[in-house]
Homo-oligomer: A and B are copies of this chain.
Amino acid sequence: MGNILCGVDIGGTKLSVALVTDDGKVIDKCLEGDHTEKSECGLTDQIKFNIRKLLKRNNLTESDLCGIGIGCAGHIRFSDGTIITTSNLKGFKGYPLRREIQSGFEVPVILDNDANAQAFGEFRFGAGRGYEHMVFLTISSGIGAGIIINKSLYRGFTGTAGEFGHTIIEPGSDMMCTCGNKGCLMAVACGMALPHLFAKKLHEGKISKIELPADFDFSKVDGKLIKHGLDIDDPVSQEIVSEIGHYMGIGIYNIFQALNPQLIVLGGGLLSWGDIFLDKIRKTFYELARDMIFDPVEIKLTEIGPDAGVIGAASLSLGKC
């Protein structure tokens, strides 16, 4: 087998397939946005087709690949490469995606949760290089995470370890997560919480500097709108970022107490909020952890950048090189 990696990132808006060097650089990639409309077979064929297309246009063959890594949002049973549930795609409940892709290739195919893939990418090529134990958290519309223990991904029994987003940190909260529970980290501290928080602040009489139409649909409040609010010194946006930063600080403190990692790496869309967000996360974390930090714990930003999805997915096949 060769030493080029292939990464497939099945996202909520884009299907990305890339060829990646074994030191984590994207050689070539293709992006498509119509994959969420496809059937199980349709998406499987699209992935196979795109991998072959990329190989061909780079004058490569399958024998140049180490393996194919696929990252997909949702609950993945790692042992048999099955998508148990995913909210991005239609169907795909209990779908053996790894087996279906593997049927088209000789090189090993690995399917994992997208946050696990990014965590491993970060560990191999990014902020986590050289660390033994680290946790990667992605904070965007939802919260995903991956755990590196003893320089390997820790996936747990089914393969769903690292679902810190579903840990309950505010049992009395009225904020509901897509999982059906109230008060889990994902309900209170990511993009999902923004519509509720924004509407609540206005309802409490807070004045926002963001100009909104009279019939504004609050379900449209997202990280970008809040970023715009920060840019114009909107006090409502600042309060929301502070509140979410506070909860993320608690979430990271809980991870610190549970797993005692050396490093926590943060990625995801909400980090574009900048220092006001990161400072609040760190402030809450250090206020809680205080004299219980016996060896330095670092909280860093992702370093593998905008191609984190495919680079992470590609990194999954590194053990197969």
Interface residues of A (CB under 8 A from B): 75, 77, 84, 132-133, 149, 154-172, 179-181, 250, 253-255, 257-262, 288, 290, 292, 294-295, 297
Is A179's CB under 8 angstroms from B260's CB?
no
Is B171's CB under 8 angstroms from A157's CB?
no
Q: List 30 A-B contacts (CB under 8 A).
A: A77-B294, A77-B295, A132-B157, A149-B154, A155-B260, A156-B259, A157-B261, A157-B295, A157-B297, A158-B260, A158-B294, A159-B260, A162-B258, A163-B258, A163-B260, A163-B292, A165-B257, A166-B292, A167-B253, A167-B254, A167-B257, A169-B169, A169-B171, A170-B171, A170-B172, A171-B250, A181-B288, A254-B254, A258-B258, A258-B259
Q: How far is the CA of A297 from the CA of B158 in the complex (A)?
A: 10
Q: How far is the CA of A162 from the CA of B260 in the complex (A)?
A: 8
* Cβ-closest chain B residue relative to A161: B260
Copies in the complex: 2
> Chain B's nearest CB lies how many Å from the CB of A298?
10
Extra contacts besides A165-B257, A167-B254, A172-B172 (13): CB < 8 Å: A75-B294, A77-B294, A84-B294, A133-B156, A155-B260, A161-B258, A163-B257, A163-B260, A166-B292, A167-B258, A168-B250, A171-B250, A255-B258
Is A157's CB under 8 angstroms from B180's CB?
no
Is chain A's binding surface mostly helix, strand, loop or mixed? loop
Q: How far is the CA of A292 from the CA of B108 in the complex (A)?
A: 29
Q: How far is the CA of A285 from the CA of B77 in the complex (A)?
A: 21
Is B149's CB under 8 angstroms from A133's CB?
no
Given contacts A132-B157, A250-B171, contact A164 B294 (CB under 8 A): no
Q: How far is the CA of A10 from the CA of B142 in the complex (A)?
A: 44
* Cβ-closest chain B residue relative to A251: B168
Q: How far is the CA of A123 from the CA of B132 in the complex (A)?
A: 24
Is A166's CB under 8 angstroms from B257's CB?
yes
Q: How far is the CA of A196 from the CA of B144 in the complex (A)?
A: 37
Most B CB contacts (10 A, CB to CB) among A169, A258, A259, A290 go to: A258
Is B257's CB under 8 angstroms from A158's CB?
no
Q: How far is the CA of A258 from the CA of B262 in the complex (A)?
A: 17
Is B168's CB under 8 angstroms from A260's CB?
no
